[in-house]
Amino acid sequence: MNVTVLGAGSWGTTVASLTTALNPTILWARNPEVAAEINDSHTNASYLPSVTLPRRLRSTADIDEAVQSADVLIVGVPSKGFRGAVEEVRKSIRPWIPVVSLTKGIESDSLLRMTQIIEELLPGHPAAALSGPNLAREIMAGQAAASVIATKDLGVAAALQTVLRHKLFRVYRNHDVIGCEVGGALKNVIAIASGIGEGLGVGDNTRAGVMTRGLAELTRLGVAMGAEPQTLAGLAGMGDLVATCMSPYSRNRTVGELLGRGKPLDEILSEMHMVAEGVGTARIALALAEAYRVELPICEEIHKVVLGEQRPVDAYRGLRTAGHELDPG
């Protein structure tokens, strides 16, 4: 199969490096200089420093060239630019080919998940999401990892498995697209909370409590939206949550840690080369919570921190009140 990956960030480049082992793959980079670096030097130093990319991986800054021969289209741009990227390919994409989202976020204004945007803009194309505890640098270093390809048609999921799996990268199927996408988006907010704890030096007990209660929150919202609870206990829920909350490679955890150390958010974001989705997702999570009438106290505290309405240390103090563990809140 001819595979096209849109977005030459760390994760898009990693997925393209995996698929090119067995399938001709084109990686679209918006920046022509990045495309030239990938083609000429087989590196993408801005996003994956000290990593050598497969020599057969080809890149282009021409989105029409990248898409027109694709049998599978994979979209790995941040949620803010996701709709625009999908709109750009409408005139070039071949009929009926599956479209896979790598993006762990929710659209700000519409509150749509990424696969819903695909279904809206590209009707007739099977929409899928790849989600799980997938840290790009570890995968590029050859370390084992597992992920989930979620789509309503498990026949399509099985076909995508063969495209995406590679050596120590294991891909499971799941029909619960909602659960996989909600888990992937909300865990970024909880990772900011975990990072704040690291920056404040609260200890592993406290951070474990925040992660566990965070899992309860993303499960509560996911189920209200139509997800299955076991999905949120799996790779796209708990697995992704643990990796993102604990790893120093996690952008969202890093944002939280720097906030906990007293660094202003604007300064943190201005110095980051990549997007930390959790910053915007905090507000979106609360909008969804209101729409589905569920409580998300950790997301609420992090949203106040992001807005500058609350100090990070006070966010942790605000999480002290507790009722029955199985009750919401």
Q: What is the DSSP string of 239-261?
A: IHHHHHHH-TT-HHHHHHHHHHT
CA proximity to 247, closest of 306, 194, 296, 201: 194
Mean pLDDT of the chain: 94
Q: How far apart are the first and last CA of the chain?
A: 47
- Looking at residue 324, its pLDDT comes to 47
Residue 187 is a catalytic residue: yes
Instruction: Give the active site residue among 80, 104, 187, 263.
Output: 187
pLDDT for 204 beyond 90: no
Topology classification of domain 180-317: N-(1-d-carboxylethyl)-l-norvaline Dehydrogenase; domain 2 (1.10.1040)
Contacts of 84 (CB under 8 A, 6+ apart): none
Longest dimension (CA), the chain: 59
Q: Looking at residue 48, what is its pLDDT?
A: 96
Query: Tens digits of per-residue pLDDT, 265-305?
Result: 999 999 987 888 989 999 999 999 999 999 999 999 999 99
DSSP conformational letter for 325: T
Q: Are 130 and 101 in contact (CB under 8 A)?
A: yes
Rounded-to-integer distance, Cα 255 and Cα 59, Å? 30
> Mapping DSSP to helix (H, G, I), strand (E, B) and coil, where does residue 93 land?
coil
Q: Does domain 3-175 correspond to CATH entry 2.160.20.10?
A: no
Each domain of the chain, given as residue ranges in start order, spans: 3-175, 180-317
As a whole number, mean pLDDT of residues 198-203 equals: 90
Nearest to 289 by CA among 304, 301, 299: 299
pLDDT on residue 325: 57
What is the model's pTM?
0.94
Q: What pLDDT is recorded for position 222? A: 98
The residue ranges of DSSP E strands in 153-299, in sequence order, are: 169-174
* β pairing state of 127-131 and 99-101: parallel
Tens-digit pLDDT profile for residues 214-234: 999 999 999 999 999 999 999
Average pLDDT over residues 304-317: 89
